């Protein structure tokens, strides 16, 4: 029976990852494992006993690599753009008529808070973060008696291993969660699988660039801790001892605080060096590395505050947000489409949401134009006849909804009459 080895890491690499003294902490191998034959998983009847389990130290090493990567400002900013901002968007359900369901509709009420122990923002952030670094995320599903998904809990990546087809590394034959194996067909009975299809996995694919960026950060730090002198006094006379050198330099620096002109005799020369803060901090190289980080994450350069030299400018904040939303849309689509998946069997049913119900992020508010711009647009549309006032009221968030008639107040009770004694 074939033995499946998962997440093999060389000892030297593991040592560097666990004790990251340099940027080599980013180097790691995938936890995906290739079966030794196409049917090794599908039909050989393997069990977790036939799997070489990765050690806990390997998981710690991978966590260290990601934490070191997140110490890079551009990387942390990129993760914030992909996972931080979108995690604040609301999730809503829509029926086949594209009508948004009420938040408390029993078919999709759990979208407000899928995990009873986490906020929606926290769950979405961790889900997208797993996608960035591991290219997948799993939610553990709890169903009610009617087989409807009602509660979810994210599964930490360190609890998950995968076995892939040797002829197609994109095809996962089985998932191993907490030592239990689930075939690709049966895993949906217990979990929701968010497969980002190669969008992420930067734990593996981004190592060379992240190493370069870390090297530049380290070099700039070395310059900051031990900067080069801006000028040097050269003595052509008798050598001076340490105390005399310290006294000479102190007097020279003190004189420069009061006079911009100095005097030296024939025995002394003053040489200046062309070092400046930008050169000492490798600003240009670090800016280029930040730009490469933006490309690695598929984001506009402005998203990580990198200078690209691109003449493209944004006249409004809404235009910039639309451009940035286009960049993160593929990540959001994975979550939307996964929650909306249907089982196309003999009797179609929804794998997560009920059949015919789809999930969607509400992003209109994030990319909405300023109120003045909207009013000018509505005015132009009304004057041209392209819009009716009802259309404007339906689309404008500031439109005042017609007041509902208030019920008439109940008549006050009649005062009790005193009975004459």
Query: What's the pTM?
Result: 0.68
Joined tokens for residue 116 = 């009873």
pLDDT tens for 90-110 read 999 999 999 999 999 988 999
pLDDT tens for 164-217 read 888 888 888 999 999 899 988 889 989 999 999 888 887 766 667 667 666 766
Kindly state whether residues 78 and 160 are assigned to the same domain.
Answer: yes
Kindly state whether residues 95 and 238 are assigned to the same domain.
Answer: no
Task: Say if 131 falls within a structural domain.
Answer: yes
pLDDT tens for 147-167 read 888 899 999 998 998 898 888
Joined tokens for residue 286 = 């670090």
Kindly state whether residues 96 and 136 are assigned to the same domain.
Answer: yes
Burial class (CB in 10 A: 0-12, 13-18, 19+), 269: exposed
Which residue, 186, 252, 211, is CA-closest to 28? 211
Task: Say if 311 falls within a structural domain.
Answer: yes
CA distances from 161 to 168, 229, 244, 338, 385 (A): 17, 53, 67, 20, 60
Coil vs helix vs strand at 94: strand
Is-contact 139 195, C-beta < 8 A?
A: no
Kindly state whether residues 119 and 219 are assigned to the same domain.
Answer: yes
Kindly state whether residues 259 and 334 are assigned to the same domain.
Answer: no
> Residue 113's domain spans which residues?
1-225+281-368
Average pLDDT of every residue of the chain: 76
Note the pLDDT of residue 316.
72
Kindly state whether residues 220 and 317 are assigned to the same domain.
Answer: yes
pLDDT tens for 285-324 read 667 778 888 888 889 888 888 776 665 566 677 788 888 9
Burial class (CB in 10 A: 0-12, 13-18, 19+), 375: middle
Kindly state whether residues 299 and 261 are assigned to the same domain.
Answer: no
Task: Say if 306 falls within a structural domain.
Answer: yes
Strands 160-165 and 268-272, sheet pairing? unpaired
Q: What does residue 407 show for φ and ψ, rounded to 5 degrees? A: -65, 145
pLDDT tens for 213-230 read 667 666 666 665 555 566
Q: What does residue 291 show for φ and ψ, rounded to 5 degrees? A: -65, -40
Task: Say if 310 falls within a structural domain.
Answer: yes
Kindly state whether residues 235 and 101 are assigned to the same domain.
Answer: no
Task: Say if 413 falls within a structural domain.
Answer: no
Kindly state whether residues 258 and 338 are assigned to the same domain.
Answer: no
Lowest mean pLDDT segment, chosen from 164-168, 292-296, 345-349, 390-394: 345-349
Is-contact 25 65, C-beta < 8 A?
A: yes
pLDDT mean over 353-380: 87
Task: Say if 341 falls within a structural domain.
Answer: yes
Residue with token string 């670090």: 286
Joined tokens for residue 28 = 């790691």
Kindly state whether residues 350 and 295 are assigned to the same domain.
Answer: yes
Task: Please report, rounded to a whole number, the percentage of residues in the chain having pLDDT higher than 90.
Answer: 27
In the chain, the N- to C-terminal Cα span, in Å, equals: 106
Kindly state whether residues 331 and 303 are assigned to the same domain.
Answer: yes
Could you give the number of structural domains in the chain? 3
If you average pLDDT over each of 13-22, 70-79, 118-127, which comes out highest? 118-127
Note the pLDDT of residue 229.
64
Sign of CA dihedral 167, 172, 173, 179: positive
If you average pLDDT over each of 24-33, 146-155, 403-412, which comes out highest? 146-155
Q: Which of 241, 272, 303 is the last residue of a domain?
A: 272
Task: Please report, rounded to a whole number, the percentage of residues in the chain having pLDDT higher than 70.
Answer: 67
Kindly state whether residues 38 and 109 are assigned to the same domain.
Answer: yes
């Amino acid at each position: 029976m074939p033995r499946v080895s998962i997440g093999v890491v060389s000892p030297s690499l593991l040592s560097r990852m666990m004790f990251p003294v340099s940027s080599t902490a980013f180097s790691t191998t995938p936890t995906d494992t290739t079966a030794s034959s196409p049917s090794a998983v599908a039909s050989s009847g393997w069990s977790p006993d036939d799997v070489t389990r990765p050690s806990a130290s390997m998981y710690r090493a991978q966590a260290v690599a990601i934490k070191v990567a997140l110490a890079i400002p551009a990387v942390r900013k990129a993760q914030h753009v992909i996972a931080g901002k979108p995690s604040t968007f609301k999730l809503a359900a829509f029926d086949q008529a594209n009508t948004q369901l009420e938040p408390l509709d029993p078919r999709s009420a759990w979208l407000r808070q899928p995990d009873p122990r986490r906020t929606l923002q926290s769950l979405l952030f961790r889900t997208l973060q797993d996608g960035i670094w591991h290219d997948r995320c799993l939610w553990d599903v709890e169903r009610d008696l009617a087989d409807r998904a009602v509660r979810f809990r994210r599964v930490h990546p360190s609890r998950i291993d995968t076995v892939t087809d040797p002829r197609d590394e994109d095809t996962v034959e089985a998932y191993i969660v907490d030592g239990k194996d689930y075939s690709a067909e049966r895993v949906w009975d217990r979990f929701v699988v968010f497969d980002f299809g190669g969008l992420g996995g930067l734990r593996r694919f981004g190592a060379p660039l992240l190493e370069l960026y870390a090297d530049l950060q380290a070099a700039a730090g070395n310059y900051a801790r031990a900067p080069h002198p801006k000028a040097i006094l050269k003595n052509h006379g008798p050598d001076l001892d340490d105390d005399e050198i310290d006294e000479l330099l102190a007097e020279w620096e003190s004189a420069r605080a009061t006079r911009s002109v100095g005097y030296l005799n024939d025995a002394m020369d003053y040489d200046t060096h062309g070092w400046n803060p930008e050169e000492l901090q490798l600003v240009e190289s670090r800016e280029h590395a930040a730009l490469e980080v933006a490309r690695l994450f598929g984001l506009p350069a402005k998203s990580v505050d990198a200078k690209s030299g691109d003449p493209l400018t944004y006249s409004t904040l809404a235009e910039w947000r639309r451009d940035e939303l286009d960049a993160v849309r593929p990540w959001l689509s994975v979550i939307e489409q996964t929650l909306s998946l249907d089982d196309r069997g003999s009797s179609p049913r929804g794998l997560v949401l009920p059949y015919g119900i789809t999930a969607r992020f509400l992003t209109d508010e994030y990319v909405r134009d300023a109120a003045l711009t909207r009013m000018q647009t509505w005015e132009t549309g009304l004057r041209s006849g392209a819009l009716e006032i009802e259309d404007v009221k339906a689309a404008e968030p500031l439109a005042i909804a017609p007041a509902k008639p208030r019920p008439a107040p109940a008549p006050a009770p009649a005062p009790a009459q005193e009975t004459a004694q």
